Structures are given as structure tokens and as C-alpha cells.
Chain A
């Protein structure tokens, strides 16, 4: 079957198998920021946006994005770099394997919250697992990022 979609604002027309999942589809097109982690819809590594909403691409049939807009980390390079700097400054990127999915979800959270509380951050990012950092550094980085977004400075980053 053939689908047409926008990936990072570029039109893609592709023949696909009916049971191809989105993570495999976008990776086959070179968007390698999208990682396959748990393969059980729990870890958040494969997070992409479909029509601006964060979803687990391992559980989306590529057929279902026909006519839709898909965004991966490659399409948010500048914003991702900014978040990445905050993560790095807190030593919370470590192995870095979860970072693309985490950053996609942080940026999704930014579209819903201008100034999220600690609880809101924890709840929103509960579906992004990290096995290196223990989350505290991530939390500091995220708070710093949002503070910097609002005020242009961030206490946590110094």
C-alpha cells in the first residue's frame, strides 16, 4: 500500500507493508534519532509527534500516518540542541540513548505548560524511562530549561 505524509515538513510518498510500524518506517528513511527500546510500549525511546502530539512510534502503524504530519528530533534540531545543553550541564544525558525520546516529550510538554511544576514534569515524563541518570539530573535540567525559556536565565545552570 502507498502512503503520503509529511515527515519534518518534507513530503514522503512510500510503498509500505500494512503491518509496518512507524519506528521502523522513519528509521528506514534515515531518521535514526528514533530509537527502538523496550518494544513493549513502556520506555518512550521511540517518541515522535504525529500531528503535534507525542506518541510511541513502536505502536503506530505507518499506514495510520497517511495524510498526517510526523515530527522526529531531526525536525526540531535547534530546540533539541537547547534542551540537550541543559541535560549535558547536569550530567544527565549519560549514555544518551533515551535522550531523543525524552527531548521530544519535553518539547511536547512545552506546548502544554509554560511553567510546569515538579509534579507536572514528573507526570508528563513518566513514560520516558532512563536507566542511567536516576532522573534527578534530568529534573534539574528540565526546570532550568523552562526557567531559561521564561526569563532568559537559569539558576540551575549557573
Chain B
């Protein structure tokens, strides 16, 4: 368990950022589920819980999800289900248990850029932007490749589109980290394929998705699946070898596309 010398529930993002940058050992507190596994000594824990950032809001063109929104809120949100189908429900249900998902926050899950993240994999398949306090609005894809710096993820902004989605993952046991996760979407005649737990952080298979027609036949799906393992780099860890992940990727991408076509 980590240690904290001080805890402050800030009253504004400005106060939070000022505290965050005041001391290298000050830290933003998310759901704490991963952070508590460490033994680091922090100075001040900065809590954003008092800022009302635990809401899922709809604007004319977007859905905005505050950084303190829990995975369980997203999993059970009728609004997200209405716009993005069962994507979030399917992606988040296998994450440990309800009690865990009532704590895990969107901000903690995305800002930490975990390689195993079901959350990032799912969001990558949508038109997702990340609102950072300092750097402003950036595409999720760009955010994942930006150098790490001290900032605050305020919210996620997703463009509302008529979209079909599918989420596929393979786990060694029901509530474990995924060995591989795949989110697929189809919108405006274009496909998106997001591959996570490679075991590196999620990445889009842009070229492979571009091979697909709006209604691909089995041969074309096979070509795209073969292309995915050439386009995306996979690796090995305790949960699976690179070779196993490459085989899994073909299967999960195929299932995702077929589910959307159905």
C-alpha cells in the first residue's frame, strides 16, 4: 500500500493542477485500485471527487464523460448503450467484479495508459478525444503517444455518430486481465479496429481496417485479419506469447467484424 502525508479534496481543477505541479510527489487520486498495489511514498493525494466530474453528459454533438465516472456507471449507462451499443458493457463486465468497477474511474484507467486496459481499447474504436487541463483537447490516439507529463484528465469527449460496435476479448479466467482485446466499429462506411493488451497499450489497425468494404465477404475479412498481424506488433508476457496473440488477433478481429455485419 502506498503512503500519503496529506489528502486534499480540491475545489477546482486550477487548485488541483497547482497542487499537482507544486511537488513531484503529489499525485491525483483515481480509483486507487492499481495505485494501492504500489508502496510509493507520496506527499499529497489530490482528490477530484468534489468537482462533479462523475457524470455522463450529452451535448448536441458529443457525449462527455467526467474523469471520476466509474466503470460501472459507464457499463450500465442507458445513454452510452443508446449511442454505442453494448461496447462498454461488454468491455467492462469482465473487469474483476461490481465492487471493483464501482471504484475504478475513467480518468485513472485512461490517464495511466495501462497496456492491459479494456477501457482504452474500447474508446479507441470510437471518435474519442481527451480533455486535459493544460494541453486541452487531444485525440485519444495522440494522447497515448504523447510524452508523459503532469496534467489532469478532466473528461473524455466522444463524437455522437450512428455507429455499430463489437467488443471481443480472451482471458485465462473470467475476471483476469485480457490476453488480448479487440474493439471493432463501423461508422460512415468506415471500419475501425482497436487492438489492446498486445500486451502493450491499445493501437489502431488503420491499414487493415481500410481493406474492408462496408459489407465484407468471408475472403475479405480473412485478408483484413491476416493484415492485422502484419500491421500491429504483438509481444509476450505471462499471459500469452506473441505467437498466441497473433492467432488470437485473427480470431477476435474476425468475430468482431462478423458481429457487426450480422
* Most chain B C-beta atoms within 10 Å of own C-beta, residue among A55, A108, A109: A55
How many residue pairs link A and B with beta carbons under 8 A? The number is 83
Q: Tell me whether B1 and A19 are in contact (CB under 8 A).
A: yes
For B45, list chain A residues within 8 Å (CB): 18-19, 61, 63
Q: Tell me whether B175 and A18 are in contact (CB under 8 A).
A: no
Q: Tell me whether B29 and A21 are in contact (CB under 8 A).
A: no
Segment from A70-78, A123-131, A149-157 that makes contact with B: A123-131
Q: Tell me whether B103 and A60 are in contact (CB under 8 A).
A: yes
> How many Å from the CB of B73 to the closest CB on chain A?
10
A54 at the interface (CB under 8 A from B): yes
Given contacts A54-B98, A64-B49, A127-B175, contact A1 B93 (CB under 8 A): no
* Residue in B6, B31, B32 whose beta carbon sits within 8 Å of that of A18 in the complex: B6
Question: B191-210 interface mask toward A, CB cutoff 8 Å, 1 = contact, 0 = none?
Answer: 00000000000000000000
Closest 10 interchain pairs by CB? A127-B97, A18-B7, A19-B4, A18-B4, A63-B7, A54-B99, A56-B99, A41-B33, A53-B102, A126-B97
Known: A18-B6, A109-B98. 15 other contacts (CB 8 A): A18-B5, A19-B45, A42-B96, A42-B175, A58-B36, A59-B32, A60-B103, A61-B4, A61-B45, A64-B47, A125-B97, A126-B94, A126-B174, A127-B99, A127-B100
For B5, list chain A residues within 8 Å (CB): 18
Question: Which residues of chain B have a CB within 8 Å of any CB of chain A?
Answer: 1-7, 9, 29, 31-33, 36-37, 45, 47, 49, 72, 93-94, 96-100, 102-103, 174-175
> How many Å from the CB of A3 to the closest CB on chain B?
10
Residue of B nearest to A60 (CB): B103
For B174, list chain A residues within 8 Å (CB): 126
Q: Tell me whether A105 and B99 are in contact (CB under 8 A).
A: yes
What are 10 A-to-B residue pairs whose CB atoms are below 8 Å?
A18-B45, A39-B1, A44-B97, A53-B72, A55-B99, A59-B100, A61-B4, A63-B7, A63-B9, A127-B175
Tell me the bound Cα distance from A59 to B6 in angstroms.
Answer: 17
For B31, list chain A residues within 8 Å (CB): 59
Tell me the bound Cα distance from A44 to B6 in angstroms.
Answer: 28
Tell me the bound Cα distance from A128 to B47 in angstroms.
Answer: 28
Tell me the bound Cα distance from A37 to B71 in angstroms.
Answer: 23
Q: Tell me whether B96 and A126 are in contact (CB under 8 A).
A: yes
A40 at the interface (CB under 8 A from B): yes
A47 at the interface (CB under 8 A from B): yes
Tell me the bound Cα distance from A41 to B37 in angstroms.
Answer: 9
For B9, list chain A residues within 8 Å (CB): 63, 66
Report the count of interface residues on A (CB-CB < 8 A). Answer: 30
* Residue in B47, B93, B100, B103 whose beta carbon sits within 8 Å of that of A123 in the complex: B93
Q: Tell me whether A55 and B29 are in contact (CB under 8 A).
A: no
Given contacts A1-B7, A53-B102, A64-B47, contact A41 B175 (CB under 8 A): no
* Residue in B29, B102, B175 whose beta carbon sits within 8 Å of that of A61 in the complex: B29
Q: Tell me whether B1 and A21 are in contact (CB under 8 A).
A: yes
Q: Tell me whether B98 and A108 are in contact (CB under 8 A).
A: yes
Residue of B nearest to A40 (CB): B37
For A128, list chain B residues within 8 Å (CB): 97
> How many Å from the CB of B62 to the closest CB on chain A?
27
Q: Tell me whether B103 and A55 are in contact (CB under 8 A).
A: yes
> How many Å from the CB of B167 to the closest CB on chain A?
15
For B3, list chain A residues within 8 Å (CB): 19
Tell me the bound Cα distance from A25 to B169 in angstroms.
Answer: 37
Residue of B nearest to A123 (CB): B93
Given contacts A55-B102, A55-B103, contact A127 B32 (CB under 8 A): no
Tell me the bound Cα distance from A108 to B97 in angstroms.
Answer: 13
Given contacts A18-B4, A19-B3, A126-B175, contact A41 B100 (CB under 8 A): yes
